[in-house]
Structure 1
Amino acid sequence: MATRISHWVNGTSTPGTSGRTSPVYNPASGQQTGEVDLASAAELDAAVASAVAAQRDWRTSSLSQRAAVLFAFRELLHERSDDLARIITSEHGKVVADAAGEIARGLENVEYATGVPNLLKGGFSEQAATGVDVYSIRQPLGVVAGITPFNFPAMVPLWMCANAIACGNAFILKPSEKDPSASLFLARLWKEAGLPEGVFSVVQGDKEAVDAILAHPDIQAVSFVGSTPIAKYIYETGTAAGKRVQALGGAKNHALVLPDADVDMAADAVVSAAYGSAGERCMALSVAVAVGAIGDPLVDAIAARLPKLTIGDGTDPDSDMGPLITGEHRDKVRGYIDQGEQEGATLVVDGREGDLPTEGFFLGTTLIDHVTPRMSVYRDEIFGPVLSVVRVETYEEGLELINSNAYANGVAIFTRDGGAARRFQFDVEVGMVGINVPIPVPVSYYSFGGWKSSLFGDTHMYGPEGIQFYTRGKVVTSRWPDPATSSVDLGFPRTR
């Protein structure tokens, strides 16, 4: 029997009342395991009302009190990461090691937020004018919301909620309806850590819940991670309603492999980055740009590694790659492979073939060579285990290819030449750059985000920019009567 997956409002599991639900599957078996409630606008209203009341008190809590809750939450998350990883694998399909990895990266952001007493320090200028002092402070926005994707059901919410809560806001999470259970696990940990009821809420839902969030007058800011068309919609709709919005969109991440690169190191890195978590990562490498004579050795080295990957149930410790999230998405990715073949690319390794599990939403690793920028496998974000190889003659040609792409989330260069690497980081028009690092996700004390169609808004996610996003600055100018000249006897001497 399918498990009922509900909302979390005012510190407790709250069954939905809209009468609408959506199925939740185990991607490895293809079987339905859950039924998630889908919120109405009225249910979102109730969650916001609870959050508004809770935030008034949470805002007055001391920084040390907030830090204590965050430290407790961090310890609970660390202790129970294995349980959370199994939940993620059961609904997303990624192997348990990948699930554990995303929790670890989320934990980094919680650890960063524990430093909130230092992160919220302002500035002070004594005697800006005679007898006048000026100082700056940062204050919370109020109630804020996060709309998060299926591919990282724990990490991306932790990118948002840790900083938001540390800054004194109440946070409402609208997770993906495809793998919603991780959100409730986090909610229970927040409660156990001592977070007051209503400060962290979960509203399960689909577009109706999203639109209600974007329109609600008591939600001051919205953070989003997902595809570019939806990011654009979130940004335009939210800002039109007067909200602060950060919306991270899609990606088409390139790896520029120069002729002097260590082929084995580059191939290992590209395989890991392209096929880990079945390619369902916004930082997955989608395109290897092979410069000059490196092309054939690189393709051969990647192709030689793919048969060694074991594709299977993510709970099996021998599996290197699990299934895709749904049958519909698997079929969409398969359709891109069909198109690539029809458009003239060379299928070096065909993921539509091979020894795959008969149940579940599995697709094998695919390597496509001689791809050109006009092909759909190059233009579109596939979000699956498909790697395209584009061949160019020079560094300049490869750089131009990357800089001409509409997406600018992450990029990597593989070379032994420090001068070439430094030139690349200077020249490339992409938000996150890896030098011999295939997935350049910043550590928690920097900020995550791309450029161009990979980001709508001015603020990147987590780190210093996350603190800035979830607070607003206030400058205070103060003047006090000089005690020496006051008409009230304060016990100070009247002469200097």
Structure 2
Amino acid sequence: MAITLHHWRNGTAFEGVGDRYSDVTNPATGEVTARLALAAGSDVNAVVEAAVAAFPAWRDTSLAARTRVLFRFRELLNARKPELAEIITSEHGKVLSDALGEVSRGQEVVEFACGIPHLLKGGFTENASTRVDVHSVRQPLGVVGIVSPFNFPAMVPLWFFPLAIAAGNAVILKPSEKVPTAALWLAELWKEAGLPDGVFNVLNGDRTAVDGLLTHPDVESVSFVGSTPVARYVYETAAAHGKRVQALGGAKNHMVVLPDADLDLAADQAVNGGYGSAGERCMAISAVVAVGSIADELVERIKARTLRLRTGDGTRGCDMGPLVTAQAQQRVSGYVDAGEKAGAVLVVDGREVRPDSDGAGFFVGPTLFDHVGTDMSIYTDEIFGPVLSVVRVDSYDEAVQLINRNAYGNGTAIFTNDGGAARQFANEIRVGMVGVNVPVPVPMAYYSFGGWKHSLFGDSHAHGTEGVQFFTRGKVITTRWLDPSHGGINLGFPENA
């Protein structure tokens, strides 16, 4: 019988009172590996109460002590990341090397958060008025909620909670019900690192859990990554209840290839950016915009590389794994059907892939379309699968107009050897993250992640300095002391405590 996974509250597993469950599957085999308890409304309240109770003591814990916990967590995560990668592969399906890369990119935010004392420094003005000093501080919000998607079970939560915890907040993580084990594993790691009970909690569930966090009066902020319709709902609902919101939505990322580009490099990176993690990335390249006369040659080079890819069980050294669920497999196959029916040229068909896997997994192989029209659903919709579309345009200006007209503005890339063209593209393109000869321009942790247009609701991006500001409030204090005072004599060297 499959194990039952519960919530995490006050440093231990919490069964809750909900009587609803969902299946957790291995997407490479279709096997049900666990049963997940879905939170009831009273479970939401119980987890929030634990976080509320833990917050005051953690808020008042010194920065020196908080950062020591962060450093211990960092060391534990670094030593045991292969274990976490195996969990991700077993529930999401991405190949082990990709899962390890996901953990490493999340680890970058942990390392950034270890420098939180510097990031929380305020300012000071002496004698702003006569014998009046003014200084500023940044203080934690309180209880913060994080709602993370299925495609990055570790990295996306790690975008948020290291900064939230380092800044002195208490966290409630609601992972995707498709991939819950990574969140529970991270909760146990925090406990091993010495984080006080109640500071990090995991609430498993579906819309009941999400709505509970969005509307609970004791939850101060919500961080969300997911599809655009849900991101809009999260933003509007949480904002209507007076909360701060980071709501990162969907994407339709274009990769422009200019005639002077290195076509072998461009073809390699189109395949890497389009088919990595089976296309289940918000930063995946889904549309290659071929400019001018290079289109035929570029498509042939992408085709040759696509046909060499091995699809299968993520533990067997293949290039690409399955999609996360049977429903995802059916949806992506439906888009391939629709693209063919709409008149796009199907260069490589992934619907009949023969994967290297035991069991009936949820596979669609790498799929390549050419001569894709901008009115076709394979272009307009975020497919979230291994479907790469080539759109042909005559000029650089037409490529820029195409991208700027698109409803999404998450990421884009240009491949060229012309520095002037690249600089102009970066300047005038209306997209939040831009790569020059880089297909997936996910910023380093000390910069902030976030798109424009329908890829982001609100102004707050993830991690970097914007992440620190999101999880803290500024306060300005004006002080006047009429008489000097001192604290006595102590010749010992002062220590942090």
**Structure 2 length normalisation: TM-score?**
0.96
Would the aligned equivalents of 2:95 and 2:320 in 1 still touch at CA under 8 Å? yes
Query: 1:135 and 2:135 equivalent?
Result: yes
What is the RMSD computed on CA atoms of the aligned residues?
1.1
Match of 1:419 in 2: 420
Q: How does 1:13-52 map to 2 (within 5 A)?
A: 13-52=13-52
Distance 1:355 1:455 in 2: 37
| Mapped pair 1:270 → 2:270 | yes
Which structure 2 residues correspond to residues 258-407 of structure 1 after superposition, within 5 A?
258-316=258-316, 318-356=317-355, 359-407=360-408
Q: How does 1:152-301 map to 2 (within 5 A)?
A: 152-301=152-301
Letter in 2 for 1:373: T
Number of residue-to-residue matches in the alignment: 484
Distance 1:94 1:15 in 2: 29
Letter in 2 for 1:445: Y
Structure 2 residue matching 1:460: 3-state secondary structure = coil
Following superposition, the deviation at residue 137 of structure 1 comes to 0.4
Deviation at 1:341, TM superposition (A): 0.7
Matches of 2:15 and 2:87 in 1, distance apart?
Answer: 20
* C-alpha displacement of 1:179: 0.7
Q: Secondary structure at the match of 2:110?
A: helix
Matched AA of 1:101:
G
After superposition, the C-alpha distances for 1:106-141 in whole angstroms (9 at most, x for unaligned) are: 000000000011010011111111111111100000
Shift of 1:37: 0.5
CA shift at 1:422, angstroms?
0.3
Deviation at 1:355, TM superposition (A): 2.5
Contact 2:144–2:220, Cα closer than 8 Å, also in 1: yes
Shift of 1:478: 1.0
Runs of 4+ in structure 1 off by over 2 angstroms are 353-358
Matches of 2:292 and 2:5 in 1, distance apart? Answer: 53
Question: How far did 1:353 drift?
Answer: 2.3
What is the SS of the residue equivalent to 1:438?
coil
Distance in 2 of aligned mates of 1:105 and 1:319: 21
- Following superposition, the deviation at residue 354 of structure 1 comes to 3.6
Per the alignment, residue 9 of structure 1 pairs with 9
Deviation for aligned residue 1:276: 0.5
Q: Equivalents in 2 of 1:64, 1:354: separation in Å? A: 54
Report the CA distance between 1:307 and its aligned residue.
Answer: 1.6
Q: Which residue of 2 aligns with 1:408?
A: 409
Is 1:469 paired with 2:438?
Answer: no
Map of 1:493 onto structure 2: none
SS at match of 1:288: strand
Aligned to 1:458: 459
Map 1:477-488 onto structure 2 (within 5 A): 477-483=478-484
Q: Do the aligned residues in 1 keep the contact of 2:180 with 2:204 (CA within 8 Å)?
A: yes
CA separation in 2, counterparts of 1:135 and 1:354? Answer: 63
Q: Return the TM-score normalized by structure 1.
A: 0.96
353-362 or 415-424: which moved more?
353-362
Output the CA distance in 1 between the equivalents of 2:80 and 2:16. Answer: 27
SS at match of 1:476: strand
Structure 2 unmatched ranges of 5 or more: 489-497
- Measured in 2, the distance between the counterparts of 1:16 and 1:4 equals 12
CA distance in 1, matches of 2:410, 2:41: 33
1:368 aligns to what SS in structure 2?
Answer: strand
User: For residues 291 and 327 of structure 2, what CA distance do their matches in structure 1 show?
Assistant: 36
User: CA–CA distance in 2 between the matches of 1:194 and 1:423?
Assistant: 49
State the Cα deviation string for residues 133-161 of structure 1 (Å, max 9, x = none). Answer: 11110000000010000000000111110
Distance 2:323 2:285 in 1: 17
2:90 and 2:199 map into 1 onto residues whose CA distance is 28
In 1, the alpha carbon distance for the partners of 2:397 and 2:3 equals: 55
2:223 alignment partner, SS class:
strand
Distance (whole Å) between structure 1 residues aligned to residue 32 and residue 12 of structure 2: 25
- Distance across 2 between alignment mates of 1:247 and 1:3: 33
Query: Given that residues 214 and 238 in structure 2 are in contact (C-alpha distance below 8 angstroms), is that contact kept between their aligned partners in structure 1?
Result: yes
Among all aligned residue pairs of Structure 1 and Structure 2, give the percentage whose two residues are the same amino acid: 63
**What SS does the aligned partner of 1:136 have?**
strand
Instruction: Give the Cα–Cα distance (whole angstroms) in 2 for the partners of residues 181 and 351 of structure 1.
Output: 30
CA distance in 2, matches of 1:391, 1:172: 46
**Residues 1-40 of structure 1, C-alpha deviations (whole Å, 9 max, x = no match):** 2121110000001123211110000000011111001001
Q: SS of the counterpart of 2:290?
A: strand
How far did residue 315 of structure 1 move?
1.2
Q: Quick one: distance in 1 between partners of 2:354 and 2:219?
A: 49
* Contact 2:353/2:364, CA 8 A, preserved across alignment: no
Distance in 1 (alpha carbons) for counterparts of 2:481 and 2:281: 56
One-letter identity of the residue aligned with 1:194:
G
Instruction: Quote how far apart the aligned CAs of 1:334 are.
Output: 0.5
Structure 1: stretches of 5+ with no match in the other structure: 491-496
CA distance in 2 between counterparts of 1:223 and 1:113 reads 17
Tell me by how many angstroms 1:83 deviates.
Answer: 0.6
* Offset at residue 482 of structure 1 (A): 4.7
- Which residue number in structure 1 is paired with residue 113 of structure 2? 113
Return the alpha-carbon distance in structure 2 between the equivalents of residues 30 and 49 of structure 1.
37
Distance 1:132 1:299 in 2: 69
Residues of 1 paired with 2:284 and 2:245: CA distance? 25
Amino acid across the alignment from 2:338: Q
Structure-2 separation of matches of 1:248 and 1:33: 30
For 1:444 and 1:197, how far apart are their aligned partners in 2?
Answer: 27
